[in-house]
Amino acid sequence: MTALLQVRGLTKRYLGLTAVDDLSYEVEAGTIVGLIGPNGSGKSTSIDCISGFQPADGGRWSLDGVDLTGLGPHRIARAGLTRSFQTVRAYDELTLLENMGVAAQENDGIGWLQALLRGGTLRRADAAARARGRDLLATVGLADYAEAPAAVLSYGQRKLLAIAAAMMARPRLVVLDEPVAGVNPTMIRRIEAVIRKLNAEGVALLIVEHNVDFIMSLCSRVIVLEAGARIADGPPGLIRSDPRVLAAYLGKSSAAATAARHG
Amino acid sequence: MSADHKARPLLALAVAVGLLALFAVPRLTGNEYVLALGVSFATMSVLAGGLNLVYGYTGLLSFAQVGFFGIGGYTAALMVTDHGWPLWAGAMAGGGLATLVGIVIGYSSLRLSRHAFAIVSLSFALLCMIVARDWVDVTRGAMGIPGLLPPAMDLPGGLRWRIAQPADFYWLLLGFAVVAHALIYVVVTSRLGRAMRAIKLNEPLAQSQGLNPVAYKLLAIALSALLAGIVGGLFVFYLTIVDPSIFDFYYTETMLIMVIIGGPGSFWGVLASSAVLTVVPDLLRFTTDLRMVLYGLVLILAMLLFPGGLGGWLHRRRVARWRRPRPGGA
């Protein structure tokens, strides 16, 4: 069986600086995979490329055997790969339910004419989207705010909304870009629980994060990048003790100390 | 949106009563001045409504509306006078050509950026005026096409409507304005309008959810161009002349002010401001010297009191209401 997401030889250069260098990795269906690495190691750039937000300079990637190379972001999203952003994004003037509705509306097969004529098919699709939107908002604990404009949410709540919205269109793979950066510990536990719950429904997640503890406790596999290349790939236990990872990620001096601590 | 649901029957009633009153005006007063204001309101509100769709909902600053307006005017005038087309067909041809041109300039510039579109739309509007002035073979140059006489319109049921009196134009343009706003209303309250707002509010997020921004922007541009073109085609017959001044910056300025004061992205706000801003400059006519100064003051006050327009003010109130501490709230 081939992996859900297959990335082969992804390369991205900025004016001679190679941000992502011939990077290959896979994400199996239904798994949670972490993507970590020091600042500037190419984590965000690599997911910007595979989600279509940055043109890649080389490489191919596919979801479930469907080639996504070079497609625009909206096509990649429709193919089943959605994402959240490091700078949390929401439609501030729309209610939470409207935010959820937008996230689903390109995937229910309703054409423009149907949308304007407002027949039964549209009403059923909209009702289904509202029901799923309410369910997901309840899952992330924002049910009370379903009718509120997104502008009223706190930073952490916006992160939860972004995760819920990324799930709306029933994607195969959700890429989360720093889902817990700048979030308080209570909210981190809540986001972790939400991610587990969503994963239990079968969606695969690829998570870019600086918070190593978060990644280690959540992911079944962790990929470590340094200078745009993969230096390690395996279960959290192995990654923790991998000397290359410790050297690259934590710095050489603290690497020894950490290695000692983890025995 | 739950509040909207409750308000719907009330709103429908208000709209019905308002429309009846508006259409009855020529029966109540023969005052041509009042009718002229009505024609001006109908015309400008369609232009502003279209601009609101493009700028207010989709977030594209566009100066192209006046170009579509004039293209519609010229096309209709030429088709009716030179080819003997009926007025409605001429106006539709104007709307069609404007739509086509809108799609071409939109498609060619939207792939670059929003700013590229703003610049291209401005250049397009300026180019229109130059073409109208210098392409003498077709447009008759700076003198324009004077003496436009509207031929009778064939109505369903074998009726013929001779459009000659100011009241006829009032009904014609108001009738079209109703159709135009109804169309805009259907779009902005549908999921297409929601998608347009989403694209304005956060384009990368919209893309990450499968929305194709270029497609929705083109839809907004095409619809606004169609409506502006048709209303231009009707309006020049009211003026009885079309010349390069149909592309005047005055129209662009007026519709921009209407959208900004009304609140970009607010259907009713822009409709209300179209009405108010048609009437206010005329209410200020008592002092010719200070008229424009007072108008400027009104605009400045409006911007100070409602920085986001009427619609922005409503949004801020909604946010404030939800932010108020609630019993048991998070």
Nearest to B2 among A103, A126, A147 (CB): A147
Is the minimum CB–CB distance between B330 and chain A shorter than 8 Å? yes
DSSP state of B160: E
Tell whether A215 and A233 lie within a shared domain: yes
Instruction: Spell out which residues of chain A touch residue B206, defining contact as CB-CB under 8 Å.
Output: 74, 102
Q: How many residues does chain B have?
A: 330
Q: Structural domain tally of chain A?
A: 2
Percent above pLDDT 90 for chain A: 67
Which residues does chain A have within 8 Å of residue B191's beta carbon, measured at their own beta carbons? 101-102, 105, 110, 115, 122, 126
Residue A114 tokens read as 């149907």
A33-37, A52-56, B33-37, B162-166: least confidently modelled range? B162-166
Is residue A72 located within the same domain as residue A100?
no
Residue at which a domain ends, from A124, A152, A180? A152
Sheet holding A81-83, edge to edge: A81-83, A173-177, A204-208, A32-36, A221-226, A229-234
Q: What is the structure's pLDDT at B2?
A: 43
Say how far apart CA B313 and CA B308 lie, in whole Å: 6
Q: A258 CB near a chain B CB, below 8 Å?
A: no
Residue range of the domain that includes A95: 91-152
DSSP string, chain A: ---SEEEEEEEEEETTEEEEEEEEEEE-TT-EEEEE-STTSSHHHHHHHHTTSS--SEEEEEETTEE-TT--HHHHHHTTEEE--SS----TTSBHHHHHHHHHTTSS---HHHHHHT-HHHHHHHHHHHHHHHHHHHHTT-GGGTTSBGGG--HHHHHHHHHHHHHTT--SEEEEESTTTT--HHHHHHHHHHHHHHHHTT-EEEEE-S-HHHHHHH-SEEEEEETTEEEEEE-HHHHHH-HHHHHHHH-HHHHHHHHHHH-
Encode pLDDT of B44-56 as tens digits.
999 999 999 999 9
β-strands A58-63, A5-14: how paired? antiparallel
Q: Does some domain include residue A239?
A: yes
- Other CB atoms within 10 A of residue B297 CB: 12
- Please check whether residue B189 touches A, CB under 8 A: no
The percentage of chain B sitting over the pLDDT mark of 90, rounded to a whole number, equals: 48
- pTM comes to 0.89
Residues A82 and A118 in one domain: no
Q: Are residues A131 and A189 in the same domain?
A: no
pLDDT band at B84 (very low <50, low <70, confident <90, very high): confident
For residue B307, the SS3 value is coil
The complex scores an ipTM of 0.90
Question: Are residues A63 and A192 located together in one domain of the fold?
Answer: yes
Residues 115-174 of A with CB under 8 A from B: 115-116, 118, 122, 126, 141, 144-145, 147-149, 151-152, 157, 165-166, 168-169
Q: Is residue A135 part of a domain?
A: yes
The CATH number linked to A196 is: 3.40.50.300
Structure tokens at B68: 């579509």
Are A56 and A147 contained in the same domain? no
Residues A65 and A177 grouped into a single domain: yes
In a shared domain, residues A116 and A192: no
- CB contacts under 8 A, B 260-289 vs A, are 265
**Shared-domain flag, residues A237 and A255:** yes
Strand order in the sheet with A5-14: A17-27, A5-14, A58-63, A66-67
Tokens of B49: 């409504």
pLDDT in tens, A149-202: 999 999 999 999 999 999 998 999 999 999 998 888 988 998 999 999 899 989
